[in-house]
Amino acid sequence: MSAQNFGLYAPNLICICLDRAENGDYAGHIWHQYQDEPIEYKNTIELIREMDALYDQWNFPQRSTEHWTFINENDKTRRTEKKGAGQQMDTRRIQDKKGDKGTFIVHVKYRQNSTWQGEVIWAERKQKQYFRSALELLKLVDSALDEAEENTGPEMEQNEEDDFIDIDQESKLR
């Protein structure tokens, strides 16, 4: 399922393919529109770090605050490299990517108060939800994986208590 099918067009779309989920920790691949090869992550912290590094690399969305660190600014030897200035965006690079456990299209709109705000689409169920922090994004992914595990059938009934909004129903409301 592609981001275009969900009506998402943004320079910073990321497709998270979850291949393994164990004890609340994930492993899999990150796909984005500027690279043909995926970025592998082995755990949830690595996923967040890789995504944040991509946003820094693209400088989009821009951070509203600087990261705090125990290292004195003058002692820093490792600087963030700005890459990708000449890379061409191509949404086909994230189309039809699928994780073994789940697939999520993430659009971070803002990076305010040292966290992320945006929307996430659970591709397998065509459901969208907004999030106000990186932690809330992870909780949404957890709830989706829990629900998928409980309802392993191809079709499931919508429940009013679901965390995600059905995209097809949302588009009918507009």
79-107 tens-digit pLDDT = 445 455 457 888 888 989 999 999 999 99
**pLDDT > 50? residue 114:** yes
For residue 157, pLDDT beyond 50: no
The predicted model scores a pTM of 0.79
Average of per-residue pLDDT values in the chain: 84
Which pLDDT belongs to residue 90?
A: 86
The number of beta carbons lying within 10 Å of the beta carbon of residue 94 is 23
> By CB neighbour count within 10 A (0-12 exposed, 13-18 middle, 19+ buried), where does 126 fall?
middle
**Do residues 145 and 101 make contact, with C-beta atoms less than 8 angstroms apart?**
yes
Rounded-to-5 percentages of helix, strand, coil across the chain: 30, 25, 45
18 DSSP β-pair partners? 28, 102
Mean pLDDT of all residues in 70-76: 68
Distance CA(56)–CA(125), nearest Å, equals 30
Range 7-29 average pLDDT: 92
Residue 137's φ and ψ, nearest 5 degrees, are -60, -45
Position 106 scores a pLDDT of 97
Say which range, 5-9, 21-25, 55-59, 87-91, has the weakest mean pLDDT.
5-9
Contact 5/120 with Cβ under 8 angstroms?
A: no
pLDDT for the residue numbered 169: 64
Residue 30, token pair as written in the block: 């990150």
For residues 42 and 165, what is the distance between their CA atoms, to the nearest angstrom?
Answer: 29
Do the beta carbons of residue 26 and residue 20 sit within 8 Å?
yes
Element (H, E) at 29: strand 25-32
For residue 66, the model assigns a pLDDT of: 84
Q: What angle do CA 14, 64, 61 make, to 5 degrees?
A: 25
- Please report, for residues 71, 91, 154, the alpha-carbon distance to residue 3 in angstroms, rounded to integers and kept in the order given: 39, 7, 21
Mean pLDDT throughout 64-73? 81
